Amino acid sequence: MKDKNNQRALWSSRIGFILAASGSAVGLGNIWKFPYVTGQNGGGAFVLVYMICTAIIGLPLMLSEFAIGRNANLNPIGAFNKIKPNSPWIVIGIMGLLGGFLVLSFYSVVGGWTLAYLVKSLTHGFDSFTTSKNAESIFLSFTADATETLFYQILFISISIYIVLKGVDKGIEKICDILMPTLVIMLAILMIRSITLPGAVEGLKFYLYPDFSKINGSVILIALGQSFFSLSLGMGCLITYGSYLRPQENLISVTVYIVIFDILIALLMGMIIFPAVFAMGMEPTEGPSLVFNVLPVIFKKMSIGGIFSIIFFCLLTIAAITSSISLLEGVTSFLIDKYGWKRKNAVLITALAIFLFGIPSALSFGLLENLKLANMTFFDLINNITSNYLLPLSGMLTAVFVGWVWGVEKVQKEIENNTSKSRWPQIWIFLVKFITPLALAIVFLSNFF
Ligand code: PHE
């Protein structure tokens, strides 16, 4: 569907938008990253901080990004420029696009891993995953193999390109409509299997019982970064998605649905991973390989595990793709809006640049594993810089922009556009003007000192 005035595509329905934006939010961040950062940062206490960050910082910012996008009807850079012409605030849009570029460069590497695991489950490749030790060594040798990882990374990006080329309503919206509901059902079934494994209780304790002594400044910053990453904030994606939104849609309720859905998937994933990790005597702190080492072993322990693993990795790949397309769409829409590029050229050139930049991340587990920058591999560095610095900083600036520069009255009008008035906007104004920027500034600065 097209907007009559400026020929921009629009989401064809409210639920289509909710699913597409949830498709952007729900992805590897919830399924791959959430369990491993929770495992590394103390379990239950981290989960609690993460939920608080999401409610008081993530939610108001998501609402702000949708409002900016819909009001300006443009890509992230264009949007700031339209709302406050020729002002330095455009830097938020630039940071967003840069962040999107960087995130997609390593996201596509992990997306490639999920594709490879899908192929393994289709070809009985999990037959040898009998113990967690086995699974670990298979993962290590797979990720160290440059040809294989690069091949799957290219495949993953190519699928994203294909969908983004189809455009907003026909490509992105269609695929999210089917995927999201199926994903929830699959996760619920896996959770039941995992919590009924012998020895699962220890895992539940680790995950659900908050040990407050584990909370410190760095844990809070990581929880915040995880919340941003998982909600797709600070990268212009939601501004772009908001720009395809019809004026009469009620922004508050859609935002609340998306946030709840995103948290739900992450929490479910934790309920799958931690009981299994403890039941199998593994360490919750092992990092990015956690999910890949745990899940295949659970599948082996299920009676029709083979079928489950095919469906699961298929869904996981698609969930990763629905996020990756939102990242690709952000940069693409900028090139189309600003320079009038054809969609095809914009998508292809952006994707090629992202792939090239992502190569050192893909090789960080093999050839380049000893190349350390600031004590981290290239993959860890990009992952860390984006989640823990770029996104919180861009989020803080967005809150200041919305709360103090653009003017909350105008934003409130945008949010309420033709919908019934409620008390929510008042709460949101308070959060976005005071709490969100302050909390972000404190967390951010405390990390430096
Ligand atoms: N939110 C996505 C996830 O959880 C990742 C993402 C980040 C997508 C930023 C778009 C923008 O996997």
Closest CA to 8 of 244, 219, 283, 277: 244
Query: Do residues 200 and 276 make contact, with C-beta atoms less than 8 angstroms apart?
Result: yes
The residue that leads in pLDDT, 46 or 388, is 46
Q: How confident is the model at residue 288 (pLDDT cuts 50, 70, 90)?
A: confident
Enter the tokens of residue 372. Answer: 């350390």
Q: How confident is the model at residue 447 (pLDDT cuts 50, 70, 90)?
A: low
Enter the tokens of residue 217. Answer: 């400044």
Give the residue-averaged pLDDT of 56-65: 91
CA distance 43 to 307: 30
Q: Which residues pair with 376 in a beta bridge?
A: 373
CA distance 140 to 6: 50
Closest CA to 94 of 360, 338, 318: 338
Q: Given the structure tokens 């002002």, which residue do they identify?
A: 87
Enter the tokens of residue 104. Answer: 């997609």
Enter the tokens of residue 279. Answer: 């039941």
Gap from CA of 243 to ligand 1 centroid (Å): 18
> Which atom of ligand 1 sits closest to the CA of residue 323?
8
Going 215 to 219 to 223 to 228, the CA torsion angle's sign is: positive
pLDDT tens digits, residue range 326-364? Answer: 888 888 888 887 788 888 899 999 999 999 999 999 998
Check whether 391 has a pLDDT greater than 50: yes
CA distance 378 to 10: 38
> Which atom of ligand 1 sits closest to the CA of residue 327?
10
Check whether 1 has a pLDDT greater than 80: no
Gap from CA of 395 to ligand 1 centroid (Å): 14
Q: Given the structure tokens 């995880």, which residue do they identify?
A: 226
The residue that leads in pLDDT, 349 or 21, is 349
pLDDT for 2 equals: 46
Measured from CB, residues less than 6 Å from any atom of ligand 1 are: 24-25, 27-30, 103, 229-230, 232, 235, 237, 323, 326-327
Gap from CA of 192 to ligand 1 centroid (Å): 27
Gap from CA of 102 to ligand 1 centroid (Å): 12
For the chain, give percent helix, strand, coil, nearest 5: 80, 0, 20
The residue that leads in pLDDT, 202 or 138, is 202
Which residues lie closer than 8 Å to 12 by C-beta, 6 or more apart? 1, 169, 173
Enter the tokens of residue 368. Answer: 């380049």
Query: Do residues 28 and 320 make contact, with C-beta atoms less than 8 angstroms apart?
Result: yes
Mean pLDDT (the chain) is: 85
Global confidence as pTM = 0.88
Which of 114-128, 192-206, 298-312 is the least confident region?
A: 298-312
Which residues lie closer than 8 Å to 410 by C-beta, 6 or more apart? 71
Check whether 48 has a pLDDT greater than 80: yes
Closest CA to 310 of 115, 137, 111, 136: 115
Q: Residues of 201-229 as b/e, b for ≥16 C-beta within 10 angstroms?
A: eebbebbeebeeeebeeebbbbbbbbbbb
Q: What count of residues does the chain have?
A: 449
Domains along the chain with CATH numbers: 14-446 (1.20.1740.10)
pLDDT for 11 equals: 65
pLDDT tens digits, residue range 94-118? Answer: 898 899 899 999 999 999 999 999 9
Check whether 143 has a pLDDT greater than 80: yes
Closest CA to 417 of 8, 56, 70, 18: 70
Closest CA to 203 of 297, 299, 294, 309: 294
Work out the angle between the directed axes of helices 174-195 and 290-300 (0-180°, nearest 10). 70
Check whether 3 has a pLDDT greater than 50: no
Continuous segment of H or E residues that includes residue 95: helix 90-122
Give the residue-averaged pLDDT of 13-21: 78
Residue closest via CA to ligand 1's atom 11 equals: 232
Q: Given the structure tokens 């999107």, which residue do they identify?
A: 100
Gap from CA of 306 to ligand 1 centroid (Å): 28
pLDDT for 28 equals: 92
The DSSP output letter for 431 is I
pLDDT for 201 equals: 93
Q: How confident is the model at residue 170 (pLDDT cuts 50, 70, 90)?
A: low
From residue 150, give the alpha-carbon distance in Å to each of 48, 141, 156, 363.
37, 14, 10, 8
Enter the tokens of residue 98. Answer: 């840069």
Q: Which of 230, 317, 325, 354 to mutate to test the pocket of ligand 1 (most atoms within 8 A of CB)?
A: 230
Burial of 116 (0-12, 13-18, 19+ CB in 10 A): buried
Enter the tokens of residue 36. Answer: 């491993």
From residue 315, give the alpha-carbon distance in Å to each of 265, 276, 333.
13, 20, 26
Highest mean pLDDT among 127-136, 216-225, 293-302: 216-225
Give the residue-averaged pLDDT of 260-284: 90
CA distance 386 to 368: 20
Gap from CA of 104 to ligand 1 centroid (Å): 9
